[in-house]
A and B are shown apart, each in its own frame.
Chain A
Amino acid sequence: MVQDVGSILAVDFGSVTTRAVLIDVVDGAYRLIARAEERTTDNFPASDLDVGLDRVLRQLTEVTGRRFRDEAGAMISPERKDRSGVDLFAITASLGRPLQAVIVGLVPDVSIASALRAIEGTYIEVNATLTLDDKRDQEEQLNAILLSYPDVIFLVGGTERGAERSVMRLAEVIRLSVSLASKARRPIVIYAGNSALREPMEALFGNLTTFIVAENIRPSLHEERLDSARLKLGDAFNQYKESRDQTFAMLGKMSQTGVLPTAQGYTILADYLGKTQTGGIALIDMGSANSTFAFSSGKGHLLSSIRPDLGLGHSAPQLLASVGLDAVREWLPFTASSTELTNYAYNKSLRPMTIPMSLRDLYIEHALLRAGIRAMITRANPEWENLPMTVSRIILAGAALTKTGHPAYDVLLAMDALQPVGIVSLSQDPFALIPAMGAIAPYAPDAVVQLLDETNLVRLGTALIPTGNLRKERTAVDVIIHENGEKLRYAVDGGHVFVYPIPVGQSVEVRIRCARGVTINGKRRFKMTIEGGAMGLMIDARSRPLKLGDVTMRSVMMPKWVQEATGDLLQDIDPKWLEAVEDVQEVADKARDKRRSEIRKNQKPAKADKKGKADKNKKSNAKNAKKDELSELMSDDALESLLDDEEDEQDELGALRNALS
């Protein structure tokens, strides 16, 4: 294919950053020639992605001397004899609104659970779900669907030769909803349920809206097939974006490859690496608005998760809401009120690109990152909540995992969040080369193979993570490093991190001897050659799952781990930061939830009373019924306003208390 596609320009438009890579054939193999990055310019004052594109192209021109646009401003392709332009211009993008979806299925734990896993294959956000045991009447269900303004309705349910009537009943509600939506905005309907119902479904939706059929995602209770549904959801995403998203449409016209969603690049690559390399591989990208995790076990099993609700910038409030305050606090070496964490997340969403300047802010930022990644991977595979991840290669992407400025710090964050074990090779992709590979794979497959060698990605180094009886402050691993004829001995204690820098291009012989009851990849003693990288060698002798302890312990250990990894000065935590925080807001929220459940509870006996009295006295029954109806009629809004009033009183008391104090 080299003769067909030589030079390649790949640009990734992220929510915050636009990155470009120039790839060309050098000595018969594809190589990364130059890279550039700038702010994404879909916002004020440019409001035009082309401005950001122009900036990264200028940077590339400055470095390489190559022109990319002609006099009229059009991209030059194929490459000209004067070496201006490129043969292939590929675009990936993760910016813009994800598809809004409603999921309709029979049982939450079966078909809906599979549907949720299927939608994690592309940028989709679920606005509402509808199941068979939904207690709402048809009118409420109809409004739930229509007022969530879905772009796509994903209908699943019914095993093969299984339920038919129930699925059709749900389909009827969807048909009614679609028929009531304005013609210009009718959602796409994707059916991935019992295949026996394809024809009746086609009859229901065929003339009404775009109707797509996928394979049944749950052919039996014990079997799940997501590939076909994911493919069709991906098609729906592209179809929607091309027809209704002006930005995507504009980008699509510029490139020969169309626009590949950035996340799909990770999935394609994880799948490829899983099939061609031994051992598992994990790719993780935590962006500003979305996050992607792709994992291949090396045995043909691919897990991927795209989460539009997890991000450290635009989606920070959603991340906090999704993982919960306590999950974030678990990663903080100090106490923090809900107000502080919520304000932090909301401010981050207002200015996604900003960087923490204080130590406290940095810990909050990294706590959100760690908690977000943990949430993502444990949803992709719940086993990882308690069991360590067995993986031989990890690739990190996204500013948070690639731009602390210290490679060992980046690796430490990845170790905390992913908690792998064994011998792990680590690389970084700060230039969005991986999404580029996904986009160019169909046109230049050789490029993907050749670019994957570690000179194109940033090689960080190797991490050795022992498991077993790791005792705190007792030697867990003895390391002997042979370098330049010298023999260096180190002892790594349990609960600690050890980093030995090995420059890029160099390698060292390492002999490992683990303590009794401790192994690395099942071995107590072994020797190996470790290639250099931006970090070198890390031995993470902390337990798996990582035991963080209480806030006092974290305040000691977390700064220590950072120091051990980076070699920087120890940044002690101010003892004042450990003082208990009076979290008025959280107490109020909890009280509000409690009050809400009490009000709801109190409504139930009223119904029972109504029945009891009905037999005794019809007149009093009528009166009671009216009263009960009123309480039943109290909608969520009314309940909300009642609670608001109560809260106002509490707030006033609180304000008074504050004033007095």
Chain B
Amino acid sequence: MLYPEQRYLSELTIIRRDCRLPDEAIGTINVTEGKRVEVRDVVAHGVVPSRYIILNAMKFFKLRKPEALTPLLQVEEGDVVDPKHVLAGKDVKRGKRLFSDVRAVVAQIADGRIILQEMPEVIDLEAGVRGRVISIEAGRGALIEAVGAQLQGAWGNGKLSIATLRVEPEGGIEGIIGSNTLETRYMGSVLLTRKAITLNTLRILSEQNVSGVIAPSMDAHLVSRAMKVDYPVFLTEGFGNLRMTNSVYQLLNQFEGIPITLDAFHANRWSNRRPEVIINVKMREGQNPARPNVMLGFRVGMTVRVTRAPYEGQTGQIVELPVNPVLLDNGLRILCARVELTIGETLFIPRANLEVLGR
């Protein structure tokens, strides 16, 4: 294996943002190739199908044949109806009438039945970056190229927000609620914490109406809870009680008070996207943002991050790339790199357990 995994962490890079509707959504794309977009521009509009309701109109009106329903119909397929809207009846104002209980679309009228579909969930997908549309996938989404800071995370709960980044107070997130004064400065902002998320953290953040949280880790048991909260939960490292990689924290810390796009994309087993934080930064003179290097191979001197226990999150430099497999303490013989960690230790680490944090 000659090429390392890359998980991007860069102050200034060329970002390719994949704005994509969820798989189950049926959508339309609002932008064209080459078009410039702003952070808040809606690039795609989608609807997620919702529940169907079957109303047996034939039975309701005690009809013998399905055709007998036709003269009673007060709606057509495709109509949007509100609660108490008359769906069928001889007269809209009196007599026996069939009402809709919910706001819905008339999906089908057949076989003496009226089938309603509850109003589908509408998704307006924002660009999240200031950039240019470079390609479009019909009905699914658009690829936007932009310049800015980018941090790729490990896990997200599927929510997205664009809000100002705030670093947690000294006492941690729990400290917000512990203070006697009413804390409002975190309301509507994305909170950065260095501590693992707990159930209590999720609850406090919900109460504080934050727009998102960036944390190193949380227990996998909390996944279902995190999926239910209405703000993005973004993990930089993974599951368990893991520390945030220093360089990750340092990068984010310098953007405190700046609006960021927090896309806590929830990757399933087959998706090839990652959750990411994007910050649109203005380029200074002389700055030259680079593209991620696809052909970046392992080499001596390269800075890497370890992704497995007991050294997960530690960074260091590769000092040697042995050609033959190395015997690890646990008995495996694996192709490794010898890495000098910033904590001072030098050891053999499987190449598969090393990530490059960008160029």
Binding site for B on A (CB under 8 A): 37-39, 41-47, 51, 55, 95-97, 138-139, 142-143, 146-147, 149, 176, 179-180, 182, 184-185, 289, 314-315, 317-318, 338-339, 342-343, 345-347, 349-351, 353-359, 361-362, 403-406, 409, 562, 566, 568, 571, 585, 644, 648, 651-652, 655
Contacts and interface: CB of A to CB of B under 8 A. Distances in A.
B23 A149 contact: yes
17 contacts: A139-B54, A180-B115, A180-B117, A185-B26, A343-B219, A343-B239, A347-B240, A353-B352, A354-B353, A355-B308, A355-B350, A361-B308, A404-B331, A406-B331, A566-B331, A571-B331, A651-B199
Nearest to B26: A182
A354 B307 contact: yes
A475 B182 CA distance: 76
A44 B6 contact: yes
Contact of A349 (B108, B269, B334): B269
B331 A38 contact: no
Nearest to B137: A246
Interface in B21-70: 23-24, 26, 49, 51-54
A345 B332 contact: no
Given A138-B54, A180-B108, A355-B332, A51 B294 contact: yes
A562 B268 CA distance: 35
Interface stretch (B122-130, B162-170, B322-330): B322-330
Given A343-B219, A571-B331, 12 more contacts: A41-B294, A97-B269, A139-B52, A143-B52, A146-B49, A179-B110, A351-B307, A353-B352, A355-B308, A405-B333, A562-B331, A571-B330
B330 A361 contact: yes
Interface string B332-351: 11100000000000000110
A405 B54 contact: no
A346 B6 CA distance: 19
Contacts of B307: 351, 354
A589 to B, nearest CB: 8
Contacts of B327: 405
Contact of A354 (B310, B333, B352): B352
| Residue of A347, A349, A651 ringed by the most chain B CB atoms within 10 A | A347
Closest 8 A/B residue pairs (Cβ): A405-B333, A45-B292, A97-B270, A346-B220, A343-B240, A342-B220, A355-B350, A343-B239
Contacts of A409: 331
B152 interface: yes
Contact of B329 (A41, A343, A359, A406): A359
A289 B270 CA distance: 9
A390 B44 CA distance: 57
A346 B108 contact: no
A45 B1 contact: no
A343 B8 contact: no
Contacts of A314: 269-270
B154 interface: yes
Interface string B209-241: 000000000011101010000000000001110
B353 A404 contact: no
A611 B72 CA distance: 37
